[in-house]
Chain A
């Protein structure tokens, strides 16, 4: 099986080496080489590829930021000179991790893994089964996976293709949608109250007409969601 791939790597030597490995293997067809994340993103948002060889540290956004923003997640082989990224690689469920420089044999091993690996299930940030019962979630922000306890989140606000997780002392922006999060957050804590807002029910200070107030922030409540909100509040 021949896989289509792109190489995202700012170091020309490393990119050339990868291209030669790909060519020699006859197992993978290189569709493009990009030296930065925005160019690679533009390409993959318009073209489907089976595999991305992805460097982490590049000028501008890093490789993990590409994974945060990509609409469809193909198989990923990280190529980096730092072992420190192994944990992140694991968290992002990449197919393999090649520490540069690597041998052709090691490259082939990674490629075989990619050939047999199933496609990752889209760019989903949070496994539903875990978050339903978990007291925390992990979000991808600033190229990192950040652990947020349910108790620390005040509310989640939509920002188009992004959402903002608001905590008492910080805001985290991540590539996701309210619609996607709605089914994945812990329903004991969180409730969608508006098409653009999910709130932590335990953090509501007061409710006035069609607005909730959480730590000074005014959250609109849609007419359609109002009965559900009322039913979830412990009104005496």
Chain B
């Protein structure tokens, strides 16, 4: 079940990440906050709680400063971490698949 969950997360991740990117490009802070909120629970399923906390922190920042210029540095950091996290999950998934196939 763990392997299947990792596979599901890997499959769903790109579209959720795209939604975040699209909301940022559209300059829509409400949609951005919603998109980050949507990806957040995914990390709980793969045990990556620190990125989950970072998402929550960013959601709070969107609430406190609903203006894109004020969010730029935090968004860049979050986006980079989300991309890095995607790689970590993909690697872990590959390891699990390999382990379970032995």
Q: Which residue of A lies closest to B9 (CB)?
A: A13
Segment among A16-24, A122-130, A163-171, A193-201 that sits at the interface with chain B: A16-24
CB pair A81–B1 under 8 Å, yes or no, is: no
* A20, A21, A24, A101: the one within 8 Å of B41 (CB): A101
B28 to chain A, nearest CB (A): 15
Known: A12-B12, A24-B1, A104-B1. A17 touches B37 (CB 8 A): no
CA of A21 to CA of B8, assembled, Å: 14
* Residue ID in chain B nearest A55 by CB atoms: B41
Looking at the complex, which one of A12, A24, A81 makes contact with B8 (CB distance below 8 Å)? A12
Rounded to whole Å, the gap between the CB of A10 and the closest CB of chain B is 8
A14 to B45, CA, bound (A): 8
Specify which chain A residues have a CB less than 8 angstroms from the CB of B4 in the assembled complex. Answer: 16, 20
B27 at the interface (CB under 8 A from A): no
A57 at the interface (CB under 8 A from B): yes
Pairwise interchain contact A16-B5, C-beta atoms closer than 8 A? yes
| Bound CA span A21–B5, Å | 11
Q: Note all chain A residues with C-beta closer than 8 A to B20.
A: none
Distance from B52 Cβ to chain A, minimum over Cβ atoms (Å) = 9
- Closest beta carbon of chain B to A133's beta carbon, Å: 41
Residue ID in chain A nearest B41 by CB atoms: A81
Residues of A within 8 A of B57 (CB): none
Q: Could you say which residues of chain A place their CB within 8 Å of the CB of B12? A: 11-13
Shortest Cβ distance from A24 into B: residue:
B1
Q: A100 at the A/B interface (Cβ < 8 Å)?
A: yes
How many residues of B are counted as interface, with CB atoms below 8 angstroms from the partner's CB atoms?
14
Mark interface residues in B20-37 (1 if CB within 8 Å of A CB, else 0). 000000000000000001
Complex: how many Å from CA A20 to CA B45?
Answer: 13
A17 touches B41 (CB 8 A): no
B95 contacts chain A at the CB level, 8 A cutoff: no
* Residue pair B45, A81 in contact (C-beta under 8 Å): no
* Minimum distance in angstroms from B13 CB to a CB of chain A: 9
With A24-B1, A104-B1 in contact, is A16–B41 under 8 Å at CB? no
**Are B1 and A13 in touch, CB under 8 angstroms?**
no
Which residues of A are found within 8 Å of B66, using beta-carbon distances? none
Cα of A115 to Cα of B40 in the assembled complex, Å = 31
What's the Cα separation between A16 and B9 when bound, in Å? 10
**A interface footprint on B32-64 (CB within 8 Å = 1, 0 otherwise):** 000001101110110000000000000000000
- Least Cβ–Cβ distance between A85 and chain B, in angstroms: 13
Sampled A-B contacts (28; CB under 8 Å) = A10-B38, A11-B12, A11-B38, A11-B42, A13-B5, A13-B8, A13-B9, A13-B12, A13-B41, A13-B42, A14-B41, A16-B5, A16-B8, A17-B1, A17-B5, A17-B8, A17-B45, A20-B1, A20-B4, A20-B5, A21-B1, A81-B40, A81-B41, A81-B44, A100-B41, A100-B45, A101-B45, A104-B1
Closest A-B pairs by Cβ, 9 of them: A101-B44, A81-B41, A13-B8, A101-B45, A16-B8, A12-B12, A13-B12, A20-B1, A100-B41
